[in-house]
Amino acid sequence: MQVPLQVTYRDVTVSEDLDAYIRQRAAKLDEICETIISCRVVLEEPHKHQQTGRLYHVTIDLNIPGDTIVVNREPDLHQAHQDKHVVVRDAFDAAQRQLRDAVARRKRKVKTHEESPYGKIAALFPMEDYGRIMGGDGAYVYFHRNSVKDADFDKLEEGMKVSYSEEEGDDGPQATWVRLAE
């Protein structure tokens, strides 16, 4: 974590065992995502119920690049939250699940770039607005005037080196875009 773990106790008797347990569970979050910016944990006893016993409330607030994860464990919903360790365990389990999901979403957003193939202009047909590229593997790829980027189709010449993006067209391979090679 870039910012040290912040643990706050409100109206709760703190034991060294509980504090060590919270720090241990927070360290496990760091193993899931190494880019955690900060983690704040608040453990409190919001109501002092005489009949139902003490119920605890935990909030975990995680900040990671591009996302914030907040986990709340409400005592009204879980009678097991009369035990501080149980409420902390449940909250950290939920935080781990949400953190894994956030990391997975972020990995899917990362684009992988394939290097564009290179070739040479093998033939130009200016009256019909198209040309052919001979790829590095010797195959010919059709391209249209509109697929030429950052250059004027009318100034292209046979033998010029180009990069292009290829896809399968109705009549064989065709270039979706063509650029003069640097």
DSSP-derived secondary structure for 117-130 = PEEEEEEEEGGGTE
Q: How far apart are CA 115 and CA 18, in angstroms?
A: 53
Average pLDDT, the chain: 86
Residue 58 forms beta bridges with which residues?
43, 73
* Per-residue confidence (pLDDT) for residue 22, from 0 to 100: 94
* Per-residue confidence (pLDDT) for residue 124, from 0 to 100: 95
Residue ranges of domains in the chain: 6-109, 118-180
User: Which tens digit of pLDDT belongs to each residue from 61-87?
Assistant: 999 988 899 998 765 555 555 788 888
Distances from the Cα of 76 to the Cα of 44, 52, 53, 61, 175, angstroms: 13, 10, 12, 20, 61
* Per-residue confidence (pLDDT) for residue 114, from 0 to 100: 61
Question: Mean pLDDT for each 10-residue chunk of the chain (182 residues)?
Answer: 89 89 93 90 76 77 90 65 83 92 77 73 94 90 92 91 89 90 78
Phi then psi for residue 15, to 5 deg, are -110, 155
One CATH from 3.40.50.970, 3.40.190.10, 3.30.160.100, 3.50.50.60 for 6-109: 3.30.160.100
Q: Do domains 6-109 and 118-180 have the same CATH topology?
A: no
* Per-residue confidence (pLDDT) for residue 14, from 0 to 100: 84
Pairing of β 57-64 and β 38-44 = antiparallel
One CATH from 2.40.50.140, 3.30.1370.60, 3.30.1380.20, 3.40.50.12710 for 118-180: 2.40.50.140
